[in-house]
Amino acid sequence: MQSEVEALLALQADDARIRELEDRLRALNPRLEALDKKREGAAAQLARSRTAVEGEERRQRDLQTKVAQHKQMQERNLATLDAVKRLKEATAAMAQVESARRIIAEDESELQAINRRLSELRAAVSASETALTDVETEQGEARESIASERTEIDASLEAARRERDGKSGSVPRPLLGKYDRIRTRRPQALYPLRGDSCGNCDTSIPMQRRNHMAVNGPIDICEACGVLLYRAATA
């Protein structure tokens, strides 16, 4: 019967090793997420800068179209002014010419402002592109290190699970079922008796139960906390 204890202890040691490797694997995620967050921030800033340029370029094109239309209208107004003979008609034509001239002047002034903003926005795009490139270059070594660690841990985890699966055949199926069920609720399922008490919760184990363990098998369940108990060879 002591061989069952030894087999289960070996299995529990493997499970502890697997749990440690899984914890190490999970610990890589926050590091990778921090890198991703920084890169995404730089990429988002670049996207915003490019969107701002695209919007300003649309306004520039629209205004350039309006200026061209107003200049065509002004040409017609000037042609009309040249053609009129009467003072009243000349006065009306001149008013149209002046009105169109003011509109064109306003449009061209706004166009100059847009051109200045575009220059600033394009400079911001260039700066954002440089910032993103710097982040990616800076993160290259860190990402390679994380990828290398992940590969190493995955390989160790696969080997540990194979070894664990091989050892599980040495444990009787009913006992293995109990052990696995307990292990879903707590990291450690098997504890030694500590004197006459449970090694996990310190609850005193009645003498009848201890005698039962000595006669019918060294492994039993603690009725207080539900873990598996065994009497160590020196206990």
In a domain, 212, yes or no: yes
Using the Cα atoms of residue 51, residue 55, residue 57 and residue 58 in order, give the sign of their dihedral. positive
Pairwise CA distance, residues 45 & 5, whole Å:
60
For residue 231, give the 3-state DSSP assignment: coil
In a domain, 9, yes or no: no
In a domain, 179, yes or no: yes
230 and 137, same structural domain?
Answer: no
Q: What is the pLDDT of residue 34?
A: 97
In this prediction the pTM is: 0.67
157 and 177, same structural domain?
Answer: no
pLDDT of 1 over the 70 cut: no
CB proximity list for 50: less than 8 A, separation 6 or greater: 125, 128
Q: In terms of Cα–Cα distance, which of 222, 165, 171, 201 is closest to 15?
A: 165
79 and 194, same structural domain?
Answer: no
* Bridge partner list, 191: 229
Chain segment 47-101, per-residue pLDDT in tens:
999 999 999 999 999 999 998 888 888 888 788 777 877 888 888 878 888 888 8
116 and 23, same structural domain?
Answer: yes
229 and 159, same structural domain?
Answer: no
> For residue 193, what is the enclosing H or E element?
none
Pairwise CA distance, residues 229 & 94, whole Å:
107
In a domain, 5, yes or no: no
In a domain, 94, yes or no: yes
In a domain, 102, yes or no: yes
199 and 116, same structural domain?
Answer: no
Pairwise CA distance, residues 186 & 202, whole Å:
16
**Where in the sequence is the domain holding 83, given as residue range(s)?**
16-167
Looking up residue 30, the CATH number of its domain turns out to be 1.10.287.1490
Chain segment 203-219, per-residue pLDDT in tens:
998 888 777 776 666 78
